[in-house]
Chain A
Amino acid sequence: MEQLGLLFQGFAVALEPQNFVLMVIGIVLGVVIGVLPGLGGANGVAILLPLTFSLPPVSAVILLSCIYWGALFGGAITSILFNIPGEPWSVATTFDGYPMAQQGRAAEALTAAFTSSFVGAFFAIVLITFVAPAVAGFALKFGPPEFFAVMFLAFASFVGMSRTAPMKTLTAMMLGFLLAAVGMDTVTGQLRMTFGSVELMRGFDFLVLVIGLFGISEILLSIEEGLAFRGKQARITLSTVLRTWRELPRYWAISLRSSLIGCWMGITPAGATPASFMSYGVAKKMSRHGADFGKGRIEGVIAPETAAHAAGTSALLPMLALGVPGSPTAAVLLGGLMMWGLQPGPMLFVEQKDFVWGLIASMYMGNLVGLAIVLACVPAFAAILRIPFAVVASTILVVCAIGAYTVHNAWFDILLMLVFGVVGYVLKKLDYPLAPMVLALVLGDRTEQAFRQSLLMSQGDVAIFWANPLVATIMAAGIALLVWPLANWAWGQIGALARPKITETP
C-alpha cells in the first residue's frame, strides 16, 4: 500500500496551518465566484494565479484548486434559487431543483445538491488515489470515434424524455443544433451562418443563451402571476439540513450510479456537462417515478450534481497524468503548474510525488471543508428568496447582463440574452421543451466535430464507429437506450392489439 503512505504524507502537507487557511480562503472565494454568473472558475484561478508565484507550489495549487471546488459548489445555488445555471453542468440541476425551490423546498434542494456534490467528488478522489495510472491508460483509448460514441450515448440516454408534442420537441432540439453550428466550423475553418457579421462569428455561447432562456424568461413568467417569487414564505433552519440528510441514504443506488457515470465521463474526457445530462436521463428512465421528474423530485437534483462533480474531479486526472486540460479552469491551472516549474504529464507522478499527493490530500480536505462551509450557509442562501421581488428581479437582471457580457466581453451578448429571454418565455408558454434544445446547444458542436474527425481518419468509411470492441460497445449501449422505450411502447401496442383478437375468436 504505497499509496496510503504517500497519501498520509500528503495530508501532513495539506494540514499545515498556512495551507489550511489558504484552503478556507479558496473555498469561500470559489463559492462567491460560482454564485456570480459573471465569474467562472477560470476567472478566479487566472486572477489569483499571479499572486501565487510567491507561494510554494503545493500551497499555490491548494489555493487554486479550492477555488475550483468552491465554484463547483456555488454553481448549484443560483440554479436552484433562480433557475439561472452559473455553469453549463448546473443546467440539469435546474430541472428539479428550481421546482423544489418554488414549492418552498429550497433548503432541501440545496442540501441535497451540496451533499451529492461532495459524494460525487469523494468517489472520484478515491478513484484517483488508488487507480490513477491504470485509469490514465484508459483515457488514452479514446480517439474521435470513441468520443463520438460517448456523445451519442449521452443523447440516447436523454431523448424520449418529454411527452409534449413530438414536433415541438423536434423543433426545439434542431434549433439547439442549428444555433450551436453558427460560427466557425472547427474542422474546415469555414464560417457558417455568420452572414459576414463579426458578432455572429463568435457563435452563440451556451451560457448567454441559457441565462436568457432560463433566467430572464423566469422573471417574466413570475411577474405574469403577480409580483412574487413563489415559495418565499418557507422557514428555513439548519434542522432542514439534518432532516434532508436522514432521507438521502435512501438514494444510495442513484448516487453510486451517478458517480460511476461521472467518473467515466470525466476521464474519457467528455466532461462534467454531458455527465450531468446523462446521469439525469438515466435516473429518470430507471425510476418508477420517472413521470414526476421535472416537477421537483429530489433524485433529479442528486443525479446530475453527483455526476457533475465526480466528472469535474476525475477530469483533473487526465490533466495531471496526460497534460490535457478538461476545462478552461483546468487549462489555467495547467499554465500555473508550468509557471511553478512543474511539467504536467506522465512524469509528474514519478518526479513530483510530494506535489501530487499534497494535491490529492487537499482534494479530500478541500471538499470536506467546502461541504461544511456551504451547508452552514444554506439558511442564508435560502433567505435570499425573502428579499422583495422588485429588488431581486432587477438585481438578477443586472447580474445576468454582467454574466452574459463577461463570456466574450461583448455587448451584443447582453442583447442576445434579452432576446432569448423573450424567446424562452414564449416557448415555455407554448409547451416547447427547453431541455432538448439546451442539450443540443451544449453538445451539438463537439458531437459533430468528433463525427467528422472520425470520418477524416477513416477517409469517409462509417465502419470506424464499430471498428474496435470499445467503440462498438458504447455505440451498442447507445442504440439499446434509444430503442428500449420504443420497444417497450411497441410491446405494449402489440399486447393491446393481441388481446382483443383473442377475445373475438369464438
Chain B
Amino acid sequence: MSGSMQPRAAGVSRRAVEVVTASAFAAIGIVGLWDSSRIGAGWGTDGPQSGYFPFWIALIMTGASLFTLVSAWRDAGPDETFLTRPQLGLVLSILAPATAFVLAIAWAGLYVPAALLIAWFMARLGGYSWRAGLLTGASIAVLSFVTFEIWFLVPLPKGPLETWLGY
C-alpha cells in the first residue's frame, strides 16, 4: 500500500486506512439496511416498526461513509503516514500478546493467561527479569482470584488449573 513516490516515511498510508475504514462502515450500514427491511422498516398504524429507526440510521451512516470514502479517494493532496514501521511494530508488540491473552481465556481461564501476560509485558517490554515478571504476574493473578472468586463471589472464567484446585 505504501507508494514509494510519496514524500512520507515508510509505513501504513493514512489514505489507505481512511478508505478501508469508510468502506467497512458503509458495509456495516448496508447489512443494517438489509436486516431492517427484512423485519419491517415502515411506519405502522401504531408508530414506527422495529426496523424503522435502524433503517434510517443505517442509511445515513452508509451515505456519510460513502462521502468520506469518495473524498479520501479523490483527495489530491500528499498522503500522510498513518503509522510508521517502527510504530506499527510497537503497537503489534502489545496487540499480539493481548490477542493471545483473550483467546487463551476461552480455554485456560482468566487467571493463568493473566499471570503470563503480565510476565511477558514486564520481561519483553519493561526489561525486567522473567523471574520478577512471573512473580508479579502470579501475585496479581492470585490477588484477583481472592478478590473476585472468594471475597466478592463473582465467578470469572476458569480453566483446568482451577478445576484441578477444586474451583
Give Cα distance in the complex from A402 to B157, angstroms: 9
With contacts A181-B53, A394-B118 known, is A175 near B102, CB below 8 A? no
B152 within 8 A of A: yes
B10 within 8 A of A: no
Is B68 within 8 A of A168, CB to CB? Answer: yes
A-contact 0/1 string along B1-15, CB 8 Å cutoff? 000000000000010
**One of B54, B99, B125 near A181 (C-beta < 8 A):** B54
B-contact 0/1 string along A132-146, CB 8 Å cutoff? 000000000000000
A374-393 with Cβ < 8 A to chain B: 388-391, 393
A66 within 8 A of B: no
Give Cα distance in the complex from A36 to B156, angstroms: 14
Is A223 within 8 A of B68, CB to CB? Answer: no
With contacts A39-B152, A388-B126, A401-B102 known, is A395 near B118, CB below 8 A? yes
B155 within 8 A of A: yes
With contacts A192-B36, A394-B117, A448-B53 known, is A389 near B157, CB below 8 A? no
- CB-CB under 8 A from B14, the residues of chain A are 430
Is A171 within 8 A of B102, CB to CB? Answer: no
- Closest-by-CB residue of B relative to A188 is B50
Question: Chain A binding site: helix, strand, loop or mixed by DSSP?
Answer: helix
B138 within 8 A of A: no
- Closest-by-CB residue of B relative to A190 is B50
B48 within 8 A of A: yes
**One of B35, B101, B156 near A193 (C-beta < 8 A):** B35
- CB-CB under 8 A from B28, the residues of chain A are 175, 178
A331 within 8 A of B: no
Give Cα distance in the complex from A330 to B16, angstroms: 48
B55-83 with Cβ < 8 A to chain A: 57-58, 60-61, 64-65, 67-68, 71, 82-83
- CB-CB under 8 A from B39, the residues of chain A are 190, 192
- Closest-by-CB residue of B relative to A459 is B46
Is A409 within 8 A of B117, CB to CB? Answer: no
- CB-CB under 8 A from B18, the residues of chain A are 430
A405 within 8 A of B: yes
- Closest-by-CB residue of A relative to B59 is A174
A472 within 8 A of B: no
- CB-CB under 8 A from B101, the residues of chain A are 397-398, 401
**One of A402, A411, A421 near B148 (C-beta < 8 A):** A402
Give Cα distance in the complex from A177 to B127, angstroms: 44
Is B17 within 8 A of A426, CB to CB? Answer: yes
- CB-CB under 8 A from B82, the residues of chain A are 429
B129 within 8 A of A: no
Give Cα distance in the complex from A393 to B95, angstroms: 12
CB distance from B152 to the nearest CB of A (A): 5
CB distance from A379 to the nearest CB of B (A): 22
**One of B58, B106, B122 near A411 (C-beta < 8 A):** B106
A4 within 8 A of B: no
B45 within 8 A of A: yes
B166 within 8 A of A: no
A460 within 8 A of B: yes
Is A460 within 8 A of B64, CB to CB? Answer: no
With contacts A391-B122, A397-B98, A430-B17 known, is A460 near B46, CB below 8 A? yes
Is B50 within 8 A of A411, CB to CB? Answer: no
Give Cα distance in the complex from A415 to B101, angstroms: 10
- Closest-by-CB residue of A relative to B141 is A398
- CB-CB under 8 A from B140, the residues of chain A are 395, 398
**One of B67, B90, B128, B144 near A167 (C-beta < 8 A):** B67
A23 within 8 A of B: no
Is B93 within 8 A of A185, CB to CB? Answer: no
A454-477 with Cβ < 8 A to chain B: 454-456, 459-460
Give Cα distance in the complex from A393 to B120, angstroms: 11
Give Cα distance in the complex from A171 to B26, angstroms: 9
- CB-CB under 8 A from A394, the residues of chain B are 117-118, 120-122, 137
- CB-CB under 8 A from A192, the residues of chain B are 35-36, 39, 50-51, 54
Is A427 within 8 A of B21, CB to CB? Answer: yes
- CB-CB under 8 A from A227, the residues of chain B are 125-126
Is B46 within 8 A of A455, CB to CB? Answer: yes
- CB-CB under 8 A from B110, the residues of chain A are 398, 401-402, 405
CB distance from A201 to the nearest CB of B (A): 14
Is B154 within 8 A of A38, CB to CB? Answer: yes
CB distance from B16 to the nearest CB of A (A): 11
Give Cα distance in the complex from A414 to B22, angstroms: 25
Is A220 within 8 A of B126, CB to CB? Answer: no
Give Cα distance in the complex from A245 to B126, angstroms: 37
Is A406 within 8 A of B154, CB to CB? Answer: yes
A208 within 8 A of B: no
Is A426 within 8 A of B117, CB to CB? Answer: no
Is B54 within 8 A of A224, CB to CB? Answer: no
Is A177 within 8 A of B57, CB to CB? Answer: yes
A410-441 with Cβ < 8 A to chain B: 411, 414-415, 418, 421-422, 425-427, 429-430, 432
- Closest-by-CB residue of A relative to B54 is A181
- CB-CB under 8 A from B122, the residues of chain A are 390-391, 394
Give Cα distance in the complex from A235 to B74, angstroms: 49
- CB-CB under 8 A from B60, the residues of chain A are 170, 174
A446 within 8 A of B: no
A-contact 0/1 string along B80-121, CB 8 Å cutoff? 001100010011011100110110011000100010011011
Q: What are 29 A-B contacts with C-beta separation under 8 Å?
A: A167-B67, A174-B58, A177-B57, A178-B58, A187-B50, A192-B54, A219-B94, A224-B90, A390-B125, A390-B126, A391-B126, A393-B121, A397-B117, A398-B117, A398-B118, A402-B156, A411-B105, A415-B102, A418-B99, A418-B102, A425-B91, A430-B14, A430-B18, A451-B48, A454-B47, A459-B45, A460-B44, A460-B45, A460-B46
* Given A38-B148, A390-B126, 7 new contacts (CB under 8 A): A39-B154, A167-B71, A223-B90, A224-B90, A398-B110, A401-B105, A414-B102
Shortest Cβ-Cβ A-B pairs, 10 listed? A390-B126, A455-B47, A174-B61, A394-B121, A190-B50, A394-B118, A170-B64, A398-B114, A171-B64, A167-B64
